[in-house]
Amino acid sequence: MRIISWNCAKGMLHKMDEIRMLAEKLMPDVFFINEAELTSEKVDKINLLGYASEVSDSISLGKARIIAYVNPMTGFKRKPHLEGKHENIIVLETKDIRVIGLYRGFKNTERLVLIPLVICSICLKRAVKPPRNS
């Protein structure tokens, strides 16, 4: 499984060629883009062949700071009930794995909320048996 995260800095729209090249070269199962700076008017411009795009709910407040490209063959499903309303977080799950992409800006002037700085976190949902020796 390949999960990557890239902080695009100053928005992703002018870096779509690089995003496509990285996706083609690295073939990630999940590709998080931080500092996406994506508005609802531009969502149609971020399509990536072979991937479903997931946009954080913060877009409802003006812009999404994180998006995720998900290879549909991996079985990852979005879990919005774990994300919180208007937050810069995307939670994806399979049967065994939970992947969380979270963007937190350096300054949080809108409200005083302590959120750990995490870009990508991978959690096993249940114990996985080690492979048998042959």
pLDDT digits (tens), the chain, 134 positions: 899 999 888 899 999 999 999 999 999 999 999 989 999 899 989 999 999 999 998 888 888 899 999 999 999 999 998 888 888 899 999 988 889 898 876 665 555 444 444 444 555 555 555 566 65
Query: What is the predicted pLDDT for the residue at 122?
Result: 55
Query: What is the predicted pLDDT for the residue at 19?
Result: 95
Give domain status of residue 59, yes or no.
Answer: yes
The structure tokens listed for 2 are 């390949």
Query: What is the predicted pLDDT for the residue at 58?
Result: 86
Give domain status of residue 132, yes or no.
Answer: no
Give domain status of residue 110, yes or no.
Answer: yes
Give domain status of residue 16, yes or no.
Answer: yes
- The answer to whether 79 and 92 are in contact (CB under 8 A) is yes
Give domain status of residue 68, yes or no.
Answer: yes
Give domain status of residue 65, yes or no.
Answer: yes
Helix or strand (DSSP H, E) at 16: helix 16-26
Query: What is the predicted pLDDT for the residue at 29?
Result: 95
Amino acid residing at 61: L
- The answer to whether 40 and 59 are in contact (CB under 8 A) is yes
Domain count, the chain: 1
Query: What is the predicted pLDDT for the residue at 103?
Result: 85
Query: What is the predicted pLDDT for the residue at 115?
Result: 43
Q: Which residues of 69-78 are buried (b: 16+ CB within 10 A; e: fewer)?
A: bbbeebebee
Domain that holds residue 19: 3-124
Give domain status of residue 76, yes or no.
Answer: yes
Give domain status of residue 45, yes or no.
Answer: yes
Query: What is the predicted pLDDT for the residue at 55?
Result: 92
Looking up residue 85, the CATH number of its domain turns out to be 3.60.10.10
